[in-house]
Amino acid sequence: MVHAGGMSRRTLLASTAAGSLLACSSSFADVLHGVPLWNPRADAPPQPVRPGPWQYFTPEEAAAVEALVDRLIPPDPQWPGGKDAGCAVFIDRQLAGPFGDSRGLYMRPPFQDGDPQQGPQSPLTPAMRYRRSLAALDKYCHATFAGKPFHALTADQQDKIISGLEHGQVTLEDASGRGFFDLLLQNTQEGFFADPIYGGNRDLKGWQMIGFPGARYDYRNWVQRHNEKYPLPPVGIGGRPAWTVTHT
């Protein structure tokens, strides 16, 4: 499968896996068979995402985001796509939290376009950017495809829109199409590879795909064993789906 920009699926994912894995590395105070899990940040442990309704997205926004992430990371016979991996859930929970409102960042004027290495130079928080861009995308799709929303379009039509956003050929009213594409792609990759505690990387499939062992506590038996495939399954901060976890 190839995403909208022409890059192969595996190349796209592998190129950003390392950075995404480092984005969310912490723990929480559950216990496994009576033994507390390792918790390096007892002052601010991450709260595990629980199944439930959308916390930031409206149902219409969520449908569009699920369709978008599933075209950025399409499913194949072996691996899930962005939707089934939980990328939309990850993004929703991030937008509902400190990331969404740029908490802790300097957000006062003046605002002006800067060099790429200066990072975002906008008064819009990520949550505001998503809300405006998704509304503009919906308006574009309705005007271009006889009233259909993005999630109702064919895969080819969706890919053309995503490619147009990436290359500046599709402009969104009152929003930057390329800026939205860049933010969405980054967050989708993060959701595919972040620890499952944050709602994405469902069943550790993202880590399994690239052979990442996860948050195992002790690697001493493998330090000197070079050029050998690590045989154990990946482990998240909260353990593995097959483990029984008791919450306290």
Check residue 182 and give its pLDDT: 94
CB contact at 8 A, 157 and 66:
no
Check residue 12 and give its pLDDT: 55
CA distances from 203 to 12, 77, 86, 156, 171 (A): 20, 16, 10, 29, 36
b/e per residue 81-109 (b: at least 16 CB within 10 A): bbbbbbbbbbbbbbbebebbebeeeeeee
Q: Is the pLDDT of residue 198 over 60?
A: yes
Q: Report which of residues 122 and 37 the model is more confident about.
A: 122
Mean pLDDT of 145-166: 97
CA distances from 245 to 17, 131, 240, 248 (A): 27, 36, 9, 10
pTM: 0.78
Mean pLDDT of the chain: 83
Interval 172-194: pLDDT, tens: 987 889 999 999 999 999 999 99
Check residue 223 and give its pLDDT: 85
Instruction: Give 173's contacts (C-beta < 8 A, 6+ positions apart).
Output: 136, 139, 140
Check residue 23 and give its pLDDT: 46
Domain ranges of the chain: 1-36+71-106+118-248
Q: Report which of residues 1 and 140 the model is more confident about.
A: 140
